Structure 1
Amino acid sequence: MILITDGGSTKCDWIAIDKNGKQTADKIRTKGLNPAILSEKKLNKIIRKSDELIAMSNDVTHVFFYGAGCGTEKPRATLKEILEIIFPKANVDVQEDTMAAVRATINSNDEAAVVCILGTGSNCSYFDGKQLHQRVLSLGYTLMDEASGNYYGKELIRDYYFDIMPHTLKLAFDHKYNVDADFIKYNLYKQPNPNAYLANFAEFMFLNKDSDYIKDLIKKGLRKFTEHMILQFKEELQTGIPVHFAGSIAYFSQDEIKEVAKEYGFKVGNFVRRPIEGLMDYHIKNLKQ
């Protein structure tokens, strides 16, 4: 049995397939498993809390884990060790979530493209058809992650408190969320996964996209992301390669992304909300080769 995992900071989707590429069980969902943020104890607890995963632990021969926070060696090694203990008979491969986005969005295995992730966090890499290239190392939600869910959540809260948000939207925001200052600070500074907590507020944008304020907010973040991340590959983009996007923020911001792309002159490619489906196709093809 093979486990394929699309692991974000907010949630992880696990799909089990047999050696013939047939899905053997319904998709399993756990809380997010970002090893750059969560402790070893917390990572272990989240996985072991899933009865479905533990039930199949001795039948799994391969684990392909693509995750947020797995772009550097130490957190990647920590998560790999935990997975090897939980799935003792499995060959475990842990890679950064950008590679999941690449394999889920490109049109062919050797297609060159710039691939962006806009989900709870954000990232951008260049895939030359064989290897992944990343020129800006992500420093996470506190310093980077522009145009991500946690970026927009932070902006919405700030605009609410600075009285920049339009009055009617402030009323709606206040009705939908607990905006008590102590409650917000408790979740940001006392609870795990503050990035995921912030990202929860991003849904508000897509429920109110008819607002000029919201449209401007979305494009403001996308322009920052473009200038700091996408345009680091300016020379490659001049060859006409596409820019693909993965993640819920990207999926629901397609119109705004296309508008910003026209401003900066890059070619928009594919949009994938959840990379897990594309990963299934990729690994099934490789199983049959």
Structure 2
Amino acid sequence: MKLIADSGSTKTSWCLINNNQPEIYFDTEGFNPYYVDSEYIRACIIEKLPAVIAAKNIAEIHFYGAGCSGDKNHIVSTALKSVFPAAAITVDHDLLAAARAVLGRSAGFVAILGTGMASCIYNGENITHQIDSLGFILGDEGSGAYIGKKLLIDYGRDRMPKDLKTEFFETYKLSPDDIINEVYTKPMPNRFCAGFCRFIILHIQHPYISALVKSAFADCFNNLISLYPAYKTYTLNCVGSIGYKFSDLLSTVAAGYGMRTGNIIKTPIEGLVKYHSQNN
């Protein structure tokens, strides 16, 4: 029995592969090891693990996650080992998951546009070149957290159109001081900011909102994607809820930078299941 997991900062998608049996899909909270520890991950998995899955029978786990690189991987592997003691465990970055899901064994450019942002050049097997997005505080341009942050900045500085500002307050009952308190004193501020993308999705036809999203994608191209050598020779392949929900605006911005759009998918889990089933 094999478990495949793809974890963003907000949600982890899981799938159990068991020979020729139907796959079992389930979700848990997202686990970014920069923000949570092993015990937190362990408790969340135990709470959400379907009763039909016997943890002791899992032989193999492939876990891909935001923040899973270098010295942070042990936080996730320790948690997984405590829940699935018999499993052989591999922990990789969610960017590799995106590449394998959307490109399989073909080479190309891949970006993640979800709560966070990441991008790379993939050679069909491994990541060969990556420019660091620098995370929520310093970068992550084009991500849900970045777009939400831009919205909150305009709200706090009274630059949001009056009709939207009124509706925003009626929806969330948050003052600028409340927002500052949430961002600077509470855990997971990236997830807090990204949560306001629900408001953005509902009002995407408003000229101010569509311009804000396009501006965030333009920042992504200016500060990240355009830094890759010969980036215009690649197609823009993208995984993540933000890229998927705003695919038309993303494609428009990409075309303005001379880059054609390739595959844009919401989640990589089905592509990962296919990848690991073929490499059984």
Give the TM-score band, short-chain normalised: over 0.9
* Identical-pair percentage: 34
For the residue of structure 1 that corresponds to 2:249, the secondary structure is helix
* Number of the residue aligned with 1:68: 66
Question: CA shift at 1:8, angstroms?
Answer: 0.8
Distance in structure 1 (CA, Å) of the matches to 2:240 and 2:3: 21
Is 1:260 the counterpart of 2:253? The answer is yes
Q: Which amino acid aligns with 2:116?
A: G
Are positions 1:20 and 2:13 aligned together?
no
| Corresponding letter in the other structure for 2:101 | A
Query: Among 245, 269, 276, which residue is 2:269 paired with?
Result: 276
Aligned length: 280
TM-superposition CA deviations, 1:140-186 (whole Å, max 9, x none) = 10111111111111111111121111111112211221313443234
Bigger mean CA deviation after superposition, 117-126 or 29-38: 29-38
Q: Which moved more, 1:86-95 or 1:276-285?
A: 276-285
Distance 1:4 1:53, change over 3 A: farther
Deviations 1:120-142 (A, max 9, x none): 00011110223203432343101
Contact 1:21/1:284 (<8 A) preserved: no
Q: Is the 8 A contact 1:258 1:268 kept in 2?
A: yes
Q: Does the C-alpha gap of structure 1 residues 44 and 134 become closer, same or farther in structure 2, counting only changes over 3 Å?
A: farther
Separation (CA, whole Å) in 1 of partners of 2:67 and 2:51: 21
Find 1:162's aligned residue among 157, 162, 168.
157
Match of 2:211 in 1: 216
Indicate the SS of the match to 2:50.
Answer: helix
Pick aligned residue for 2:83 from 75, 86, 91: 86
Which residue in the other structure is 2:178 paired with?
183
* Alignment pair present for 1:37 and 2:35: yes
Q: Aligned-pair RMSD on alpha carbons?
A: 1.8
Q: What amino acid is the match of 2:183?
A: L
Residue of structure 1 aligned with 2:143, choices 142, 148, 153: 148
CA contact (8 A) 2:133 2:141 kept: no
CA distance in 2, matches of 1:19, 1:282: 14
SS at match of 2:138: coil
Structure 1 match to 2:194: 199
AA partner of residue 198 (structure 1): C
Structure 2 counterparts to residues 112-131 of structure 1, below 5 A:
112-131=107-126
- Conserved? CA contact 1:48–1:54, under 8 Å: no
Runs of 4+ with deviation above 3 angstroms:
none
Does the residue aligned with 2:279 lie in a helix, a strand or coil? helix
- Quote the Cα distance in structure 2 between the aligned partners of 1:69 and 1:185: 25
How far 1:55 moved relative to its partner? 5.2
Single out whichever of 41-50 and 28-37 deviates more from structure 2.
41-50
Give 5+ residue unaligned stretches, structure 2.
Answer: none
Structure 1 residue 118, shift from structure 2 partner: 0.5
TM value normalised by structure 1 = 0.91
Give 3-state SS (helix, strand or coil) of 1:103's partner.
helix
> Does the CA contact (< 8 Å) of 1:47 and 1:53 recur in 2?
no
Which of 244, 251, 260 matches 1:251? 244
Write the distance in 2 (CA, Å) between the matches of 1:102 and 1:21. 26
